[in-house]
Structure 1
């Protein structure tokens, strides 16, 4: 692994290169944790791409309006035929609760640069071809207020499909894991992520459990989606002092509002 060179080499450290999380390169995963109760995260979606005559899961996402899904920019910055599956639990089985929606338009944040893993702006909105039907299995995610920052060790959960450990088996069932917040001061300190992490990101985990799609927090009896998984360490997705790094949703509320009013 090559070192990260800086103009000033005082206290320069060897930081493992960040790596995106997505299933079609066997990277998206919930390490540790447990299988979620079916449809207990009803805003969770499976983002899928078409290859041949079949669709394949690649990333997670959150239904934030009946016709809009929030996901990571790195998941959709290639030209593909996409669809979103809502109300799913086992992505290998049709259980009768799913809603299948094609994607009519992809809105990637204009500052996103796919050649810069840690540059930030890793967020996108997907306009669905039709509005979701809200029911017991499919509901809208709540978003945080603009600029909200969670304190150190604040309990959160992640949820998603994927590998259950580095190089391990694939879980077809939706999983969840508890991840504590690692505050910005700690996450950007020497020996942790350092300057790789920006203040528009949020870190969580770095221990036994690690990250997949969404990071949620319970506030006044209501779950709030605070993060979209962006990258992990190339040393492993649960590497010590290299917590999962999420796009901090509260940094992008105004941008999402501006996009969502264009139909």
Structure 2
């Protein structure tokens, strides 16, 4: 099991990063056992972390539900991505590092389309999902990695569809963002969070 030293990290919560509404130390971080941190290798790009102390949800700090492994988010599903990343390719986070004021609305792009020669030419494999627009212009960007791609169901319950993983620069035509597909890793997440849960 690949572990990262949790003493090197903290988790921030809220709508402003500096200062955050809440901050927590990290008890443990578990990276997927099959993840290999090689350049351009994005397979198994997922980790879970356990906070050192509990967090209470408020009007400014919300939770999002994990989908079941069998849950399907079809092509053209509208999703929303937020983050503190750059607003343009090679750009920087703008002080005071606010998240994108309006969540970016993206559409899920089918794997067959995303794997076409003019898009990613077969690079989209199990555990990945594309979202964005083939015409470009709207996308996650540098600094958004690890951020949530979410969508509400008909009852208004929000689900985590994906995690910002990789792409070819930002918002280029035929180069939509690629996200870690949460449903693919749902059982893995369950196995790791169950291991770290208190016995009571």
Short-chain TM bin:
0.7 to 0.9
- Give the aligned length: 183
227 and 199 in structure 1: CA distance in 2 versus 1, 3 angstrom threshold = same
- Structure with the greater relative contact order (CA < 8 A, sep ≥ 6): 1 or 2? 1
1:174 paired residue among 99, 102, 116? 99
Q: TM-score, normalised by structure 1?
A: 0.64
2:73 paired residue among 141, 146, 150? 150
Contact kept in structure 2, 1:118 and 1:196, CA below 8 Å: no
Shift of 1:169: 4.3
For 1:131 and 1:79, locate their aligned partners in 2 and report how far apart those are by CA, in whole Å. Answer: 16
- Offset from partner CA, 1:184-238 (integer Å, 9 cap, x none): 11001111112211131100114111013211111021111100011011xx211
- Offset from partner CA, 1:5-56 (integer Å, 9 cap, x none): xxxxxxxxxxxxxxxxxxxxxxxxxxxxxxxxxxxxxxxxxxxxxxxxxxxx
For 1:193 and 1:77, locate their aligned partners in 2 and report how far apart those are by CA, in whole Å. Answer: 31
For 2:18 and 2:38, locate their aligned partners in 1 and report how far apart those are by CA, in whole Å. Answer: 32
217 and 244 in structure 1: CA distance in 2 versus 1, 3 angstrom threshold = same
Contact kept in structure 2, 1:77 and 1:114, CA below 8 Å: no
Residues 1-263 of structure 1 aligned to structure 2 (within 5 Å): 81-86=8-13, 88-93=14-19, 98-115=21-38, 117-171=40-94, 172-175=97-100, 176-206=103-133, 207-211=136-140, 212=144, 213-220=147-154, 221-233=156-168, 236-263=169-196
Contact kept in structure 2, 1:118 and 1:197, CA below 8 Å: no
For 1:187 and 1:77, locate their aligned partners in 2 and report how far apart those are by CA, in whole Å. Answer: 32
For 1:242 and 1:77, locate their aligned partners in 2 and report how far apart those are by CA, in whole Å. Answer: 31
For 1:126 and 1:262, locate their aligned partners in 2 and report how far apart those are by CA, in whole Å. Answer: 12
For 2:37 and 2:70, locate their aligned partners in 1 and report how far apart those are by CA, in whole Å. Answer: 25
Q: TM-score, normalised by structure 2?
A: 0.83
For 2:53 and 2:167, locate their aligned partners in 1 and report how far apart those are by CA, in whole Å. Answer: 33
For 1:256 and 1:195, locate their aligned partners in 2 and report how far apart those are by CA, in whole Å. Answer: 26
Stretches of structure 2 that go unaligned for 5 or more consecutive residues are none
For 1:119 and 1:159, locate their aligned partners in 2 and report how far apart those are by CA, in whole Å. Answer: 20
- Offset from partner CA, 1:117-150 (integer Å, 9 cap, x none): 3441100001110111222222321111204332
Stretches of structure 1 that go unaligned for 5 or more consecutive residues are 1-72
